[in-house]
Amino acid sequence: MSDDAAGSATAETGLKGAAGDVASFEEDRKGIVRTIQGILHEYPTLIPLIVLVVGTVIFAIAAPGKFLSPLNLSVVLQQVTIVAILGMAQTLVILTAGIDLSVGLIMILASVVMGRTAVAYGVPVWIAFPLGLLAGLACGFLNGLLVTALRLPPFIVTLGTWSIFGALNTFYSNSETIRSQDMEAAAPFLLWLGKLFKLYDIGVFFGLDLPWLRGWVVTYGSVLMIVLAIVLSYILGRTAFGRHVYATGDDPDAARLSGINTNRVLLAVYALAGLICAIAAWVLIGRIGGVSPQAGQTANLDSITAVVIGGTSLFGGRGSIIGTLFGALIVGVFRNGLALSGLALLWQDFAVGVLIIVAVTIDQWIRKISA
């Protein structure tokens, strides 16, 4: 604070003839509420973190012995993996003040391309798998192209492509599912992310006996989720492209005047989101042990839910990948905890709805900050 005073004094020397009664640079009325608002503004990921911790504590009390067991928490982690990865794709798009309603269907389409090309058409998996990734990338690129070249609102574009990708999905899959046994025989690689390993064994591998890791069972898909979160956080926080994503969503005119090619940023973001959806497709195949054109029907809205509860602003320019990871975990923890507490499914939906509304309300409040 003394620094500030000294700084003011230096600056005020230039104010020889100025009137003394005009508004000061100093912020004098800083109540507790403003302070909290300031802290949350600076660290927006705090809210989902707090909600996650509080939720965990509540369910630890409400469902004693059951909720906090390593096995149960492992199940929660497995359940949220796909939504979390899709949520990361969605976060990128929402940071640019857009929205992608087609993420779920890009995922399903990519999983169908991977699975069906490998199993039904007998194409080697080292071709089928990249083909699936490419399909996701192409879908995302199409979204980006429509948003930038035709200047259509992202909501409308992705509502349209959601329907288009759904039709392509039915066309390519022929509405047939691929069973686990066929997949295991033709392309076991595609199932790999669904495989489980015991965390305790990892400790043993390094010659450590870590008893607190006993009971934790994790899929490779969940590991991939965490790796993806780290990579995307790095891109958003530590590269120029990441800064440009925020700037584009925050104020596109200012971004353009600062020399950012906002169309290129948008195109890259939608394409990258499509690619991440294709990675989610790989996780999905592992999780359901095959390919089903009917899988993941709620994934679109679930991904938006994770993003919003994770503190990312729907108005763009604010939010983080880690927040979305927390957001997905919060939904998983509440659903699981409420189920273990013996409440009917409808109350899970009810709770998720309340969380969304509270999250958006808090976001609006934080955004009102200014000096």
Q: Which residues bind another protein (CB under 8 A)?
A: 3-4, 6-8, 10-11, 14-15, 18-19, 22-23, 25, 38, 41-42, 234, 238-241, 243-244, 246-247, 250-251, 253-255, 257-260, 317-318, 369-371
Task: Please state the closest distance from residue 235 (CB atom) to another protein, in A.
Answer: 9
Task: Please state the closest distance from residue 218 (CB atom) to another protein, in A.
Answer: 27
Task: Please state the closest distance from residue 247 (CB atom) to another protein, in A.
Answer: 4
Task: Please state the closest distance from residue 40 (CB atom) to another protein, in A.
Answer: 12
Q: Which of 38/215 has CB closer to another protein? A: 38
SS3 content of the chain, % helix, strand, coil (to 5): 70, 0, 25
15, two tokens:
């104010």
Q: Which of 290/311 has CB closer to another protein? A: 311
Encode burial over 161-175: b for 16+ CB neighbours within 10 A, e otherwise: bbeebbebbeeebee
257, two tokens:
């005047």
| DSSP assigned state of 103 | H
Task: Please state the closest distance from residue 213 (CB atom) to another protein, in A.
Answer: 31
Q: Which of 41/179 has CB closer to another protein? A: 41
Residue with tokens 């509080």: 54
Strands (E), 100-173: none
Torsion, Cα of 127, 83, 138, 145 (10° steps): -170
Q: Which of 138/266 has CB closer to another protein? A: 266
Task: Please state the closest distance from residue 156 (CB atom) to another protein, in A.
Answer: 25
What is the distance between the alpha carbons of residues 324 and 161, in angstroms, rounded to a whole number?
24
Burial class (CB in 10 A: 0-12, 13-18, 19+), 312: buried
Q: Which of 25/197 has CB closer to another protein? A: 25
| DSSP assigned state of 342 | T
Q: Which of 42/176 has CB closer to another protein? A: 42
